[in-house]
Each structure stands twice: as C-alpha cells, then as structure tokens.
C-alpha cells in the first residue's frame, strides 16, 4: 500500500497540460514486442479516455443542493436495503431451526436459507448500482462506494447468519458489463474464507485454492467472450490501496471468530488434541510449560501478555 501511494505521488501527473504530457511522454521506447506494443497502445488510449471523462466531470455545472439531496437519499435507500437484508436472513435462519425439528418439510423449507442468501447476493449489488446512479460520482469514486456497500452487505449477512445460529451463498450475477466490484469482493471474501477456514477446516484451504484457480480461467474466458467494457471509462487499478484496505479489514474480521473460539468456547469431546480441555487455549499453556525450554516459555508468556495483544488488536483496527 505504501509503494502504491509513493508511486501515485511521483507519477508525474499534473493538472496543467494533461493531454500534452500524455501525448509526448506516455510511450515506452524500450518495447520490442508487438503484443506488448498493442497492450501499451490500449493502455494509453484508456488513459486518454479517462482524462477526457475527468475533464468533462470538472467542467460540469451542477446544482450542489440537488446533488447533496440525491446522495443523502441514495445512502438512505441503501441503508434500508442493508437492514432489510440482515433482518430477512435472521428471520429465515431462525425459521430454519424450527423446520429442522419438523417432519416432512418441503424442499424449499429445507433450503430456504441458501436460497434467500443466494438471491440477496444476486440482486442486491445491481440494486445498489442502480441507486448509486442518483449520486453522479466519478466512476472511480463510484466504484469505491459500490465496493464498500457490497462489502457491508456480505459482511452484514455473514455476521447476521452467525448471530442467528449462536442465538438458539463471485450465485454469480449475469454478465453484461464486467462486474468489477463483485469480482474483487468475491476474491477478498474467498481470501477471508481461507484465513478463517485454515483453523476450523484445514482442508478448506486446498479446496479454495483449486476453486480459485479454476475460477480464474473461467473468468478469463468470460471476460473475453461475454462481457463488454464499462460504459464510463476509468482505471480500476488506481484503487489498489482501497482493495488492500478491505483485505486488511477482512483479515482482522476473520481472526475475531478464531480468537473467540480459542479463548472462550469449550471444545467438543472428539476435537483432537483439545479434547477434554475447558478451553483450546489450555493446550497452548500446557505445551509452553511442559514441552518448551524455560527461556522459550518466558518468551511465549511475554508475547501472550495482554499489554502486547491489546495494542496489536488496536493497530489492526
């Protein structure tokens, strides 16, 4: 993230003579391969189109009061969608627990939770994008808002699902324009699943890696054969820091359930080396005390000190 920030500040871009700079300094004269030259040509063309869009946006005359009203309205509608989505998932999860105790339930009743979560994942992101048209943001800023809202949707649905259980899902959207936000969020949440699954189900890591490799080739084929470019041209790569920030947040959120499980919940009787313990953390303490040399035990005890753990959690926050 720091490298990206440094690169953006020394990129040589300026508000003055933007098109002249791009015209006379964009080409790389060390290119000696025709395919690389074609790619560079396409990149420069995209850069010019993006600059034209920026210039048009900067010269556009807007009613600032109307714009603010529409943006507040759009955020209100999206918050309503998020709250409704969370309530709907909570409702169907609680109802599914009642169905599990009944005999002769229908196919829909057995699979209601999966169906509802899949439908929300399929229809809510396009709905968010439709509502976001009211805000009239620059495409790059609009993409960040869209990513944040889908992130809130997925995260809220996941935690609502877990909450409902404790109280007692790239369906892929149809293709028209390439769904940048949906695909990026899919990768980020798959990474979170791998991080969380490495503790609860180590085999999940290998399964997800194979699935992502397969998905990558499928997506490559889909984007070349079934998608059209975004209507408003912009470089999504300039939002790398935003994606990395989301990934860091997912890492933190993935560690919370793991830490809670290790420190608070009693393991089941057949839970491997943790069987018979009051907490999984007891095994770590016993191993440090009995199997490690004394000086290593002191080091681990120091690292487990709340005075270090709490600042580390705050740093991640």
Percent of the chain past pLDDT 70, that is, above it, reads 84
Only one residue has tokens 């998020």, namely 82
Does residue 120 belong to any structural domain of this protein?
A: yes
Same domain membership, residue 167 and residue 86: yes
Per residue in 20-47, pLDDT (tens digit) is: 888 888 888 888 888 889 989 998 888 8
154 near 169, Cβ under 8 Å? no
Does residue 4 belong to any structural domain of this protein?
A: no
Average pLDDT over residues 78-92: 86
| Residue 76: predicted pLDDT | 92
Please calculate the CA angle 51-52-57 and round it to the nearest 5 degrees: 95
Per residue in 115-168, pLDDT (tens digit) is: 887 788 888 888 888 888 888 887 778 888 888 888 888 877 777 766 666 655
50: tokens are 């993006």
Does residue 39 belong to any structural domain of this protein?
A: yes
Cα–Cα dist 47/11, whole Å: 13
198 near 258, Cβ under 8 Å? no
Does residue 2 belong to any structural domain of this protein?
A: no
Among the residues of the chain, which ranges form H helices?
2-9, 18-25, 34-59, 64-99, 107-110, 112-132, 139-167, 180-200, 203-225, 240-264, 281-290, 294-303, 306-316
Which one is predicted more confidently, 231 or 294?
294
Per residue in 156-210, pLDDT (tens digit) is: 777 776 666 665 536 345 446 777 777 777 788 888 878 877 877 778 888 888 8
| Structural domain that includes position 50 | 9-56
Cα–Cα dist 155/170, whole Å: 15
Question: Poorest-confidence range of 11-15, 78-82, 121-125, 285-289?
Answer: 11-15
Same domain membership, residue 214 and residue 112: yes
Q: What are phi and psi of 110, to 5 degrees?
A: -70, -30
Cα–Cα dist 266/37, whole Å: 61
Same domain membership, residue 102 and residue 15: no
Same domain membership, residue 169 and residue 147: yes
Structural domain ending residue among the three candidates 263, 279, 305: 263
Sequence-separated (6 or more) residues with CB below 8 Å from residue 252: 316, 317
- Is residue 92 over pLDDT 50? yes
Same domain membership, residue 227 and residue 86: yes
Does residue 68 belong to any structural domain of this protein?
A: yes
Same domain membership, residue 132 and residue 14: no
Same domain membership, residue 129 and residue 256: yes
Does residue 277 belong to any structural domain of this protein?
A: yes
Counting the structural domains of the chain, the total is 3
**Nearest-10 Cα torsion for 89, 93, 96, 97:** -170
277 near 285, Cβ under 8 Å? no
- Is residue 249 over pLDDT 60? yes
- Is residue 5 over pLDDT 70? no
Structural domain ending residue among the three candidates 263, 278, 305: 263
Only one residue has tokens 């209100």, namely 76
Q: What are phi and psi of 228, to 5 degrees?
A: -120, 155
DSSP result, 171-203: -PPPPSB--HHHHHHHHHHHHHHHHHHHHH-TH
Same domain membership, residue 259 and residue 286: no
Answer whether 0.75 is exceeded by the pTM: no
Q: What are phi and psi of 177, to 5 degrees?
A: -80, 150
| Residue 262: predicted pLDDT | 79
Same domain membership, residue 296 and residue 229: no
> Quick one: which of 298, 265, 262 has its CA closest to 283?
262
Which one is predicted more confidently, 16 or 8?
16
| Residue 171: predicted pLDDT | 36
Only one residue has tokens 């808002």, namely 145
Does residue 131 belong to any structural domain of this protein?
A: yes
Same domain membership, residue 217 and residue 97: yes
156: tokens are 């809220």
| Residue 169: predicted pLDDT | 37
Does residue 3 belong to any structural domain of this protein?
A: no
Same domain membership, residue 146 and residue 106: yes
Per residue in 251-308, pLDDT (tens digit) is: 888 888 887 877 788 888 777 778 888 888 778 777 777 777 877 777 777 776 666 7
Structural domain ending residue among the three candidates 239, 263, 287: 263
Same domain membership, residue 150 and residue 77: yes
60 by Cβ neighbours in 10 Å (0-12 / 13-18 / 19+) ranks as: exposed
């Amino acid at each position: 993230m720091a490298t990206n920030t440094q690169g953006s500040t020394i990129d040589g871009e300026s508000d003055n003579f933007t098109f002249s700079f791009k015209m006379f300094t964009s080409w790389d004269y060390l290119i000696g391969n025709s395919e690389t030259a074609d790619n560079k040509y396409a990149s420069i063309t995209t850069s010019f189109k993006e600059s034209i869009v920026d210039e048009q946006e900067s010269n556009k005359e807007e009613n600032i009061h109307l714009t603010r009203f529409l943006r507040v309205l759009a955020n209100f509608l999206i918050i309503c969608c998020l709250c409704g989505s969370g309530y709907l998932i909570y409702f169907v999860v609680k109802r599914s627990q009642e169905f599990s105790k009944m005999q002769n339930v229908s196919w829909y009743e057995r699979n209601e939770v999966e169906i509802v979560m899949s439908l929300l994942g399929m229809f809510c992101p396009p709905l968010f994008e439709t509502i976001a048209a009211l805000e009239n943001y620059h495409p790059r800023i609009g993409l960040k808002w869209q990513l944040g809202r889908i992130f809130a949707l997925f995260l809220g649905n996941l935690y609502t699902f877990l909450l409902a259980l404790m109280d007692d899902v790239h369906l892929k959207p149809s293709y028209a324009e390439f769904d940048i936000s949906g695909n990026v969020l899919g990768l980020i949440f798959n990474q979170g699943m791998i991080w969380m699954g490495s503790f609860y189900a180590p085999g999940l890591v290998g399964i997800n890696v194979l699935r992502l490799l397969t998905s990558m080739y499928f997506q490559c084929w889909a984007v070349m054969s079934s998608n059209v470019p975004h209507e408003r041209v912009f470089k999504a790569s300039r939002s790398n820091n935003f994606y990395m920030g989301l990934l860091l947040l997912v890492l933190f959120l993935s560690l919370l359930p793991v830490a809670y499980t290790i420190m608070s919940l009693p393991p089941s009787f057949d839970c491997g080396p943790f069987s018979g313990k009051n907490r999984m953390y007891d095994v770590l303490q016993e191993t440090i005390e009995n199997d490690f040399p004394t000086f290593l035990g002191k080091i681990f005890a120091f690292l487990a000190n709340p005075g270090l753990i709490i600042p580390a959690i705050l740093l991640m926050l």
